[in-house]
Amino acid sequence: MILDAFTLDGKVALVTGGGRGLGLGFSTALAQAGADVVILDRSGSPEAVEAVEALGRRAWSVQADLLAATPEQVQDLVTQVAGEAGRLDIVVNNAGIIRREPAIDFTRANWDEVIDLNLSKVFYLSQAAARVMIDQAGGLDAVRAAGESGGGRERSIGKIINIASMLSYQGGKIVPSYTASKSGVAGLTRALASEWAPLGINVNAIAPGYFATDNTAQLRANPERSAEILGRIPAGRWGRPTDLQGVAVFLATAASDYVDGTTIPVDGGWLTR
């Protein structure tokens, strides 16, 4: 039955930045669908862990600053997470930052840090997770053979969900590193899907429109920008983290096993105008 394809019983998900904002919405959505959830962020988020446990799932907090982590440390973290949770099936690359400053004055730190966290760490974390997913499916040779036998891949061995943005499509205003990083995320999503779809790993992205979180607090505090943005959203309101939950569960479950490399906008119609 089709609804059976939307369950995550026995699966383990890792959600970066999963303790607040959109990430908390992803953590609780995956838990509601049946997954145990590892929340990775800088602050450690006891309330988010409690929220997942209250849904009857196991939850862990991993406190780590992804900006400070080397690719090797990212690999160690992911290996450790899978070891502690017993496996790893789903990664949501959600942790992200934004810096606003006119391009002409843009500082090196505002460029480097945004590109590092929003794009480079998405790559290294996806690479680390794919290695774990391939290992737990019996190794590269077994996974390749499964993809090649019988005329194509029959089952997925893992799901990677990247968080893109409207600025994966548009230029935005005074956020050059953010636009570059999120446009890169859409491209990276296609690149990884192209390589890993044959192995059984679905890589896709969600592009949220304008959502009421800390990330957009500055925009919402500016009456002119806030009205300008709201006036362009056909749905007539800012998005809420719950608006993203259906698409996240879809991309995490067997329901999306034949979906690879796409970026799905969830934007109240923003891109139609």
147 binds ligand NAP (CB under 6 A): no
Binding mask 62-81 for ligand NAP (x = CB under 6 A): ---xxx--------------
243 close to 206: Cβ distance less than 8 angstroms = no
Pick the closer one to ligand NAP by CB: 255 or 266: 266
**Catalytic residue flag (residue 210):** no
124 binds ligand NAP (CB under 6 A): no
222 binds ligand NAP (CB under 6 A): no
Pick the closer one to ligand NAP by CB: 254 or 271: 271
> What separation in angstroms does the CA of 14 have from each of 140, 212, 221, 267?
22, 23, 32, 24
In the chain, which ranges are E strands? 12-16, 36-41, 59-63, 90-93, 158-163, 201-208, 263-266
Min dist. Cβ of residue 38 to ligand NAP (A)? 13
CB atoms within 10 A of CB 195: 12
Q: What are 50's two structure tokens?
A: 């409690």
Pick the closer one to ligand NAP by CB: 141 or 224: 224
- φ, ψ at 148 (rounded to 5°): -90, -20
User: Which position among 97, 255, 259, 271 is part of the footprint of ligand NAP (CB under 6 A)?
Assistant: 97
**Catalytic hit among 124, 169, 178, 210:** 178
Q: What are 128's two structure tokens?
A: 């680390």
Pick the closer one to ligand NAP by CB: 67 or 115: 67
CA 8/CA 221 separation, integer angstroms: 38
Look at residues 160, 180, 4 and name the one whose alpha carbon lies nearest to residue 98.
Answer: 180
Q: Which stretch binds ligand NAP (CB under 6 A): 27-35, 93-101, 143-151, 229-237?
A: 93-101
What are the residues facing 206 on neighbouring strands? Answer: 163, 264
Binding mask 9-48 for ligand NAP (x = CB under 6 A): -------xx-xxxxx-----------------xxx-----
Q: Site residues (CB under 6 A) for ligand NAP? A: 16-17, 19-23, 41-43, 65-67, 94-97, 117, 163, 165, 208, 210-211, 213-216
Q: Which residues are catalytic?
A: 178
